[in-house]
Amino acid sequence: MADAVVEFLLVNLKDLLLYHVDLISGVKDQVESLHKELSLMKAFLKDSREKRNESEYVRELVRQITEVAYEAEDIIDNFVINEATKKGRDRVKKMIPMLGTKNLPNVAKQIESIKTKVKEIYDKKMFGIASLQVGEPSRKSARQKRQPLVEEENVVGFDEEARTIINRLTKGLEQLEVVSIVGMGGLGKTTLARKVYSDPDIEYHFYLRAWTYVSQEYNRREVFLGILESLNLTSDQIYKMSDENLAEELCRHLRNNKYLIVIDDVWTTEAWNDLRKAFPSTNLGSRILLTSRNTEVAKLADPDSSPHHLRFLTDEESWELLCRKVFRRGSCPSELEDLGKRIAMKCYGLPLAIVVVSGLLIKREKTCDWWKKVAESVSSYVARDPKQCMDVLALSYKHLPEHLKICFVYFGLFPEDYEIPVWKLLRLWVAEGFIQDIGLEYLEDTAEDYLEDLIDRNLVLVGKRRANGRIKTCRIHDVLRDLCIREGENDKFLQVIKCSGKNPSSSTSLQSYCRRLCIHSNILEFISSKPSGPHVRSFLCFATDERELPRKDTSSIYEAFRLLRVLDLRSINFPRFPNEIEHLVHLRFIVLFGQFKIIPSQISSLWNLQTLIVRTTCRDLDIQADIWKMKQFRHLYVTGLSRLNGPHPQTRKDNEDPFVRINIQTISTILPDSCTENVLARTPGLKKLGIRGKLAKLMEKKGGSSLFDNLSKLYNLETLKLLNDTYPLPPAQCIIPGVPQHYKFPPNLRKLTLSDTLLDWEHMSTLGVLPNLEVLKLKDNAFKGSHWEPLDGGFRLLKVLQIGRTNIVHWNALGHHFPRLQSVVLKHCTSLEAIPSGLGDVSVLQNLELYWSTNTAAASARLIHQQKLQLQLKQQQVNNLFKLVIYPPDM
């Protein structure tokens, strides 16, 4: 991760030189010189990536570079915060006397010391790389057969999977097809492939069969020779051939035969492109069975053949496998059964983890006490056996490009089994500096690409998806999480503190130079222990219980962690807004919860702040912070009825508007009367906007225009929420006359949510002509009336329709009214008599969900379900079958 550490430091130095030169005026020359020296280190790190796995000398140099970069980062960040404090010394002295009297360090000398260390490392690099022995250990031969990770006699849960793969190999078109099995390491891809390869139906069906391993460091020549050996086609002449001639020879032997080649453990698209020319595409029904941890490889190998994503074992299958491994042909003693099932369940369906923990259980006497210890921390016991498990999984980590390694290790901060909100994860990555600017794309979009890449590599699991198909939550297997923690702690990148809850002083102490700190429980006990983390950049809390922080401890966090960039205190209930936060000038990401009525103006001094998330128990929230002064600001998430003002008139210049903030992408949620031109005209890059309050004010015309008209100029806005909150009056007493004309909506709006607007169904015709609308969520009481009949030509792109509580009785619709509709969700539509049968004619409709519906509506949904399934079976569509959910189910 040294690459990311140095890259982030370089970006920070560049920003200081460009935007905050006033803070470093006394050491500007030294900072520029340090930037140049570190740029050389960055170049070396890039050139050395391939050598790190081969040379301990190079790995040591990389470790030294990381430590020097950390030290330089600390020096610069401390200097900046001291200079910022010095500028406001008169105002700050009374609040934090310690900062008012502390002498500034001799930063110039410290930077010169860092430059000397950088030069020494660079000199070592020049000497060391030149003296590296040419005769490095040779790569492992691709023909060195390794055993499957799960023994074939202990295969569990693969019968159905094997039958599916066998059917795909033996049926279908006569042309060559590549069938891929993908999944995370240790899931059993090789075992499943071996089971299929040895099946009698496969042996009978294919005249020629061959098996070859590719693995991470493959040699194309060895792979071709391995296949030829498997087919008994080798000779002295064959061994003398070049790579290209071997490929031609193999292709010649396969051309006139129906063949099956199993290519196991392909890591990269480059490897597949290297090998593919040896396999002739004939019309004889030949097949290639490929296994990979990387979904991208599978998609490239055959774009027309969907990869088979190997599933995790069920709890029952996990228990069966554990019993087979531990008791062989015997049975589990009754007193151990509950503990054994708990151990199996905590392996979360990963066969490799079950095999490893079974080995641990075998080694010791089978007692309740021993099994209870293992059950309490299964993943940590698995991690203690690196050769069998962690090293296998670490291959996936080591194979990652550098920009993904740091993102992957970051998952170690989250608790076990935690469903991670993707929107938050992406903003954290950006705030941490992991995402580099690569052009015109938003950093968050690049971060989402990184996450998709990790998912394609089967290192991260999808939890839930949004209505538009994008990932809503993700998670990571516990064994991989332990891998992240191990790698993170080795690099001083992160530390997870486990508080006992009984004696704070007995909690795990902070590691030296630890950069990221995470607390999963007993957060107040940890803070009361007066921790000190002078190097910590991120402090995150995931405690599930919300506790009020005593006033005496309010300043502890800010005194202990002065260099914070990320601060997530969502589990702490603050009695007042913590004004001390203004001194943490490096902050980029903040989450706070408490009894807040205002967000004070002092927050404006946090010039690095990107994301501000504030949850308040108060109904009203006044945002006094001037976000227009904060050039890095990107996302505002607040609860309550929140008032946001535009730039103060007295701060504007005569001939220019310095307050346009293209970076701002999210404002959620604000009052309707905050949607002024003074606010929205300065957020041209806004992508998400939430408006909550009396929406009649938004629609009300004054001087021929309304506040809603300002939304039409938000060309980048994709998501809009309109929540009609009229408390203490009921929504029926604050009637919205209708929706604005369609051209007054943001032109590129894709997702629209309405709540308590009580509109007549006739206004749906206006929403129907919004040109890019894909998701429409009608929450409770969004529309009223007994009858809805869509008009022709509307909702041309609508994919998702959700309808909440309403009094609708009749919904008449045909298939052409919703030509691209994929999902329909109805909740508490207790008067609706039937789902339109015409929806069954929508070819792309895949999902229909009814919650608390009438019996007649449920019956009509079942008819649509039956109609769709019959059509899909007729068309031989075995994937993505139509899904129907009815809750509560019939008793």
Write the pLDDT tens digit of every residue in 723-756.
999 999 999 888 888 899 999 999 999 999 999 9
Task: List, for residues 63-114, the tens digit of each pLDDT value.
Answer: 888 888 888 888 888 888 888 877 665 444 444 444 333 444 477 788 888 8
CB burial string 113-143: b at 16+ within 10 A, e below: ebbebbeebbeebeeebeeeeeeeeeeebbe
Is residue 527 within 8 A of residue 561, CB to CB? The reply is no
Question: What pLDDT, on the 0 to 100 scale, is given for residue 317?
Answer: 92
Residues 270-296, mean pLDDT to the nearest whole number? 93
Reported as a single tens digit per residue, the pLDDT across 751-806 is: 999 999 999 999 999 999 999 999 999 999 999 999 999 999 999 999 999 999 99
Write out the E strands in 344-478. 420-421, 461-465, 471-475
CA nearest to 280, candidates 306, 302, 259, 311: 259
What is the per-residue pLDDT for 153? 52
Measured between its terminal Cα atoms, the distance across the chain in Å is: 56
Q: Give me the pLDDT at residue 506, please.
A: 39
The string of pLDDT tens digits covering residues 188-197 is 999 999 999 9
Reply yes or no on whether the pLDDT at 128 is more than 70: no
C-beta of residue 566 within 8 angstroms of C-beta of residue 537: yes
pLDDT tens-digit readout, 138-169: 333 434 444 444 455 557 888 889 999 999 99
Is-cis flag, bond preceding 889, omega within 30? Answer: no
Higher pLDDT among residues 648 and 36, named by residue:
36
Please state, in angstroms and rounded to a whole number, the distance separating the CA atoms of residues 609 and 432.
11
Residue 694: DSSP 8-state: -
pLDDT, average across residues 2-8: 80
Tokens 């915060």: give the residue: 81
Distance CA 886, CA 881 (A): 16
- What single-letter amino acid sits at 146? R
Query: Looking at the predicted structure, is the pLDDT value of residue 494 above 50?
Result: yes
* Nearest residue to 99 via CA among 112, 115, 86, 110: 86
Q: According to the model, what pLDDT value does residue 101 have? A: 38
Confidence of residue 891 (pLDDT cuts 50, 70, 90): very low
Nearest CA to 61 out of 136, 131, 135 is that of: 131
Give the model confidence (pLDDT) of 619-665 as tens digits: 999 999 999 999 899 999 999 899 999 887 655 554 566 778 999 99
What's residue 684's pLDDT?
93
User: What pLDDT score does 126 carry?
Assistant: 54
Helix (H, G, I), strand (E, B) or coil at 492: coil
150, 351 contact by CB (below 8 A): yes
Identify the CATH assignment for 152-309 out of 1.10.510.10, 3.40.30.10, 3.40.50.300, 3.40.50.720: 3.40.50.300
pLDDT of 434 reads 92
- State residue 671's pLDDT score: 96
pLDDT on residue 94: 42
Q: Which has more pLDDT, 154 or 242?
A: 242
Which range, 268-272, 688-692, 841-845, is most confident?
688-692
Q: Are strands 787-788 and 308-309 parallel, antiparallel or unpaired?
A: unpaired
With contact defined as beta carbons under 8 Å apart, do 269 and 178 qualify? no
CA 390 to chain centre: 22
Measured CA distances, 217 to 137, 266, 268 (Å): 12, 10, 10
pLDDT (mean) for 418-432? 95
Domain ranges of the chain: 2-131, 152-309, 315-384, 408-490, 785-891
pLDDT for 31 equals 84
DSSP E strands, 403-528? 420-421, 461-465, 471-475, 495-497, 516-519
Supply 290's token pair: 């490929």
562 pLDDT higher than 70:
yes
Output the CA–CA distances (angstroms, integers) from residue 456 to 190, 266, 298, 307, in the order listed: 18, 14, 10, 11
For residue range 171-205, list pLDDT tens digits in order. 888 999 999 999 999 899 999 999 999 999 999 99
Scanning 303-350, the segments in alpha helix (DSSP H) are 315-327, 334-345
Question: Per residue in 349-390, pLDDT tens?
Answer: 999 889 888 888 888 888 899 999 999 888 888 877 666 677
Give the C-alpha distances (Å, rounded to integers) separating 574 from 48, 166, 547, 614: 48, 60, 9, 11
User: Per DSSP, which regions of 384-494 are E strands?
Assistant: 420-421, 461-465, 471-475
Q: Which residues pair with 721 in a beta bridge?
A: 690, 753
> What letter does residue 764 receive in the DSSP assignment?
H
Residue appearing with tokens 């005496």: 552
Task: From residue 91, give the alpha-carbon distance in Å to each of 83, 535, 606.
Answer: 14, 26, 16
Asked whether residue 561 carries a pLDDT value surpassing 50, the answer given is yes
Per-residue pLDDT band for 584 (boundaries 50, 70, 90) equals very high
What's the average model confidence in pLDDT over 329-353?
A: 90
Q: Which pLDDT value is given to residue 810?
A: 97
What is the mean predicted confidence (pLDDT) over 34-50?
A: 79
Report the pLDDT value the prediction gives residue 679, as an integer from 0 to 100.
94
DSSP alpha helices (H): ranges in 492-642? 523-528, 556-560
Q: Quote the percentage of the chain above a pLDDT of 70.
A: 90
- The pLDDT value recorded for residue 642 is 95
% of residues, the chain, pLDDT over 90:
53
- Measured distance CA(91)–CA(657) in Å, rounded: 29
Residue 839 DSSP SS3: helix
Of the listed ranges 49-63, 339-353, 436-450, 727-741, the one predicted with least confidence: 49-63
Determine how many CB atoms are found less than 10 A away from the CB of residue 617: 13
Mean of the per-residue pLDDT values of the chain? 86
Paired strand residues for 288: 178, 261
Architecture of the domain made up of 408-490:
Orthogonal Bundle (1.10)
Q: Tokens standing for 789?
A: 């009949």
Rounded Cα–Cα distance for residues 65 and 87 (Å): 33
What pLDDT is recorded for position 516?
94
- CA 435 to chain centroid, in Å, comes to 13
